[in-house]
A and B are shown apart, each in its own frame.
Chain A
């Protein structure tokens, strides 16, 4: 089954404790991206990647890192999380940036 898998689904952590949210797709997509969703703000793009070792900033990259060492994986790294990064995070992928995006089920992150 074609899918984008994010883990974990829920995460509660404390300020400053490094964490990684994993994202994996099984569709051989070249394009992958991360979004955060906050009430009243819709989704905002954090980072995106056009291919292995090719990443670029979205609209809200501060406080986040990504890597694309393999085509299928695109982890989101928060090296020193802060409470303002409490949010619902979505990973998505597509064959190219202008095609239909396939979204993961989301990761609800709470930073205390």
Chain B
């Protein structure tokens, strides 16, 4: 069965520091991959997605992610975090043309001033 693992439940970084959130997936074919962000009390917002092509994808708010097929990973990165990046981040895998979507457990990001 398809699955998504986000190994870090909670990460704390200082403002201005770099960030990497990990995501590993289990799926036999090339997946559709997504990162979403959820601010407190809000719905989810798409940061970026990968379907094919260049394995390094750029998203909104200065985020990027790299697809590594050999590691079944799709890690999210940002060179310098801002206090407004504090939120919960979800990695997701789509299959059956991305009609079915499986989310990871989420990583809560706290920013220290």
Chain B residues engaging chain A, CB cutoff 8 angstroms: 4, 6, 9, 32, 36, 41-46, 49, 51, 90, 92, 94, 96-106
Contacts and interface: CB of A to CB of B under 8 A. Distances in A.
B100 A98 contact: no
Given A45-B100, A98-B51, A100-B49, 9 more contacts: A4-B43, A33-B101, A42-B103, A43-B92, A43-B103, A96-B97, A97-B96, A101-B44, A104-B43
Interface of A: 4, 31, 33, 35, 40-45, 48, 50, 56, 58-59, 90, 92, 96-98, 100-101, 103-106
10 contacts: A4-B43, A41-B105, A42-B4, A42-B104, A45-B101, A50-B99, A59-B100, A59-B102, A100-B46, A106-B43
B100 A58 contact: yes
Contacts of B4: 42
B49 A42 contact: no
A101 B46 contact: yes
A58 B102 CA distance: 9
Contact of A48 (B46, B51, B90, B100): B100
A42 B42 CA distance: 14
Contacts of A58: 100-101
Given A42-B104, A48-B100, A97-B97, A103 B43 contact: yes
A21 to B, nearest CB: 14
